[in-house]
Amino acid sequence: MKILCLHGVGSSGAILETQMANFRRELDPSYELVFVDGPFECERGPGVPEYRTGPFFSHTKSYSPIDIAQAIGYLEDILEDEGPFDGIFGFSQGAALTLSYIYQQQAAANPLRVKFACLFSAAMPCSPDVGMGHTIISKLRALEYNIADQTNCNGQDLTIAEQEFVNVLQQTVVDAADKDPLFPWIDMDVYRYGEQDAIPRVMYPSLLAQKIQIPTIHVWGQNDFGYMIKMAEVARSICEECMVKTVLHTGWHDIPKRQTEIKAVIRRIDWAVTQCRG
C-alpha cells in the first residue's frame, strides 16, 4: 500500500515524517509512505516549532485559481512520476490541496490516481475554477462589501447565498487572519477591489456541482483553533456523507499522538481500503 504524504504550509516532508512517527509505527508494515516537499520555499509556517530547521515549503504560491491550478498540476506530476499510489495522507494545506485535486479530477471526469484520502486538520479547500462563486462575488463587489468586517455593520441586505458565502469566509480565513498574523492568506480587500482572477475560490457544498465520491477520513484536534476546526468541517462537508469517516482527537493542530486515537484513525483507513476493494 503506497501512500503519498503532503505536509502543511511552511513545513516540509521531513517535518511531516517526524510528526507522523508515532502514527507510522502503528501502521501495517505493508504501508509505504512517500514524503515530498512542496515546490515553493517559504517562511516557517504557523505552529511549526522554532527548533525545527528549514528549509520550509508551501504547495502553493497563493490561493488564486491560477495558483491552485499550478499546485494541482505539480501534484499530478508527483502522482504520475513517483506512483502508482493507493492514497494520500494530507496535513493542513496538504489536506486542502488533496481535496482540490480530487474534486477537480472528478468534476472533469478525469481518472483519479488515488483511491482514498486521510486528511489531518484540513485547511480551507480552494478551487482552480475562476467561475466558482462568480455571481456572488460580483454582487458583493458591486456593493463594495467588506467581508473582513465581522461586526455586521456593512448595512447591505444580502441574499441567503451571499450571506452564506460571507459567513463561511468570516468563520474561517477572516477569523484566522485576525487572530494569527502568520496565517498564510491574502488581503481580504481583494474580494472588493482586486482582479477577479486573483480572488481565492473557496469550496463549500452550495458552490459545488457534486460532492467528492471516494472514501475520505477526516481527523482534527478538539483543542485546535476554532477557525481551523471550522475549515476542517467545511472540508468534510464537500465529501459524500456515506463515504466519510471522522475522528476527533485530544490534541490541537497536529497528528494524533495517543495510541488509542491513532488506532481509531487506522481502523477508518482500513474501512476506506475495504471500500475501494469492494
Under the banding of pLDDT at 50, 70 and 90, the label for residue 53 is: confident
Arithmetic mean of pLDDT, 110-138: 96
Phi, psi values for residue 266, rounded to 5°: -65, -35
- In this prediction, residue 177 carries a pLDDT of 86
- In this prediction, residue 63 carries a pLDDT of 95
How many angstroms from the chain centroid is the CA of residue 275? 23
Under the banding of pLDDT at 50, 70 and 90, the label for residue 244 is: very high
Q: Which of 239, 206, 198, 277 shows the shortest CA–CA distance to 90?
A: 239
Arithmetic mean of pLDDT, 133-147: 93
How many angstroms from the chain centroid is the CA of residue 123? 4
- In this prediction, residue 152 carries a pLDDT of 63
- CB burial string 164-203: b at 16+ within 10 A, e below: bbbebbbbbbbbbbeeeeebbbbebebbbeeeeebbbbbb
CA distances from 85 to 40, 89, 265 (A): 23, 11, 19
Judge contact between 115 and 214, C-beta under 8 A.
yes
pLDDT tens, 200-222?
A: 999 999 999 999 999 999 999 99
Q: What is the mean pLDDT of the chain?
A: 94
Q: Judge whether residue 153 has pLDDT over 60.
A: no
Under the banding of pLDDT at 50, 70 and 90, the label for residue 155 is: low
- In this prediction, residue 181 carries a pLDDT of 75
- In this prediction, residue 47 carries a pLDDT of 81
Under the banding of pLDDT at 50, 70 and 90, the label for residue 151 is: confident
Arithmetic mean of pLDDT, 5-14: 97
Under the banding of pLDDT at 50, 70 and 90, the label for residue 25 is: very high
- In this prediction, residue 186 carries a pLDDT of 73
Q: Which of 109, 78, 82, 108 shows the shortest CA–CA distance to 98?
A: 78
- In this prediction, residue 154 carries a pLDDT of 53
- In this prediction, residue 254 carries a pLDDT of 94
Arithmetic mean of pLDDT, 224-250: 97
With a CB cutoff of 8 Å and minimum separation 6, the contacts of 268 are 118, 217, 245, 247
Lowest mean pLDDT among 157-166, 178-187, 189-198, 257-266: 178-187
Q: In what order do the strands lie in the sheet with 87-91?
A: 32-36, 2-6, 87-91, 116-120, 216-221, 244-249
Q: Judge whether residue 256 has pLDDT over 60.
A: yes
Q: Judge whether residue 245 has pLDDT over 80.
A: yes
Tally of CB atoms within 10 A around 78:
16
Residue positions annotated with a catalytic role: 92
Phi, psi values for residue 137, rounded to 5°: -60, -40
Q: Which of 135, 176, 175 shows the shortest CA–CA distance to 158?
A: 135
pLDDT tens, 72-117?
A: 999 999 999 998 999 999 999 999 999 999 999 999 999 999 999 9
